């Protein structure tokens, strides 16, 4: 059975105690960071610079990188979230364009194409 990758979003408590719609000056990291499918020893290894070995660990490493980027910004703003989401989307598209698509093209050449509809690439 394939493993499932879970993306965990953290909720931040705002220092000014503001509610939705009010200006929020700063946010702080929750006291406890949990990703239930990553054991504590593996979180420590990854946080110390170790390489991810599973899809869950890769998700954890990316999540921590994004979280640190947002924490360095000092406050939560839509623009910063947009920066992160844009960078992640572009990284995904570049991986597909540079790695996945050529691999798929190689396999089509080896085993034949499944598409027979008009408009497919020859």
**pLDDT number for residue 36:** 65
Residue 60, pLDDT above cutoff 80: yes
Token couple for 50? 């170790």
**pLDDT number for residue 32:** 54
Residue 42, pLDDT above cutoff 80: yes
Q: Is 60 exposed, middle or buried (0-12, 13-18, 19+ CB in 10 A)?
A: buried
Q: What is the pTM of this model?
A: 0.66
> How does the average pLDDT of the chain come out, rounded?
79
Residue in the block written with tokens 């085993």: 111
Residue 39, pLDDT above cutoff 50: yes
């Amino acid at each position: 059975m394939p493993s499932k990758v879970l993306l965990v979003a953290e909720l931040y408590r705002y220092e000014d105690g503001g509610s939705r719609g009010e200006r929020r000056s700063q946010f702080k990291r929750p006291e406890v960071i949990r990703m239930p499918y990553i054991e504590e020893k593996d979180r420590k290894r990854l946080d110390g610079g170790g390489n991810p070995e599973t899809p869950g660990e890769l998700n954890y490493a990316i999540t921590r990188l994004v979280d640190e980027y947002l924490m360095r910004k000092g406050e939560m703003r839509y623009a910063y979230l947009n920066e992160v989401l844009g960078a992640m989307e572009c990284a995904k598209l570049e991986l597909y364009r540079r790695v996945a698509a050529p691999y798929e093209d190689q396999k089509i050449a080896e085993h034949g194409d499944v598409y027979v509809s008009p408009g497919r690439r020859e």
